[in-house]
């Protein structure tokens, strides 16, 4: 059985967990690989915006299930980066940063096209 409160808590805890992972990566790469810090911040922003754009669109009655970098994809990439190790993780972070921004833009465009406010 799914409740509104349960759905709310699930998505909230998901955001907290994802932020903690990025936060840990930021501190791991702090003073190690300087360019990675920028991309981690972009990935955090993009990740939060993917979730935000979906929530806002659903609040308008539009289901923006577009874009490749939904939560599952982001978590799978982070797991792959963790398995491959710190040498490969910076590349995964850059992919996440660019992919989340692309998904955010796709959702914005989708909502604009689906909106009846034209």
pLDDT digits (tens, 9 = 90+) for 11-67: 778 888 888 888 888 888 887 777 888 899 999 999 999 988 888 888 888 888 899
Which residue is it, tokens 């509104």? 4
Q: What gap in Å lies between CA 78 and CA 14, rounded to an integer?
A: 14
- Give the angle subtended at the CA of 6 by the CAs of 109 and 23, to the nearest 5°: 65
Q: Which of 77, 90, 87, 88 is nearest to 35 (CA)?
A: 90
Query: Distance of CA 12 to CAs 48, 104, 105, 107, Å?
Result: 11, 18, 22, 20
Out of 10, 14, 117, 118, pick the active-site residue: 14
Question: Is 14 marked active-site?
Answer: yes
Q: What gap in Å lies between CA 114 and CA 100, rounded to an integer?
A: 21
Q: Which domains does the chain have, with CATH numbers?
A: 29-114 (1.20.120.1760)
pTM flag (> 0.85): no
CA 85 to chain CA centroid, Å, is 21
pLDDT digits (tens, 9 = 90+) for 58-111: 888 888 889 999 989 999 999 999 999 999 999 999 999 999 999 999 999 999
């Amino acid at each position: 059985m799914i409740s509104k409160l349960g759905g709310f808590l699930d998505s909230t805890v998901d955001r907290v967990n994802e932020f903690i992972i990025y936060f840990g990566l930021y501190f791991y790469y702090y003073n190690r690989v300087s360019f990675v810090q920028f991309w981690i911040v972009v990935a955090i922003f993009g990740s939060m915006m993917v979730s935000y754009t979906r929530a806002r669109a659903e609040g308008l009655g539009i289901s923006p299930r577009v874009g490749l970098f939904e939560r599952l994809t982001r978590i799978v990439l982070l797991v792959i980066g963790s398995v491959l190790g710190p040498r490969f993780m910076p590349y995964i972070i850059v992919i996440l940063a660019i992919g989340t921004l692309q998904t955010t833009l796709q959702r914005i465009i989708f909502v604009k096209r689906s909106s009846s406010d034209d």
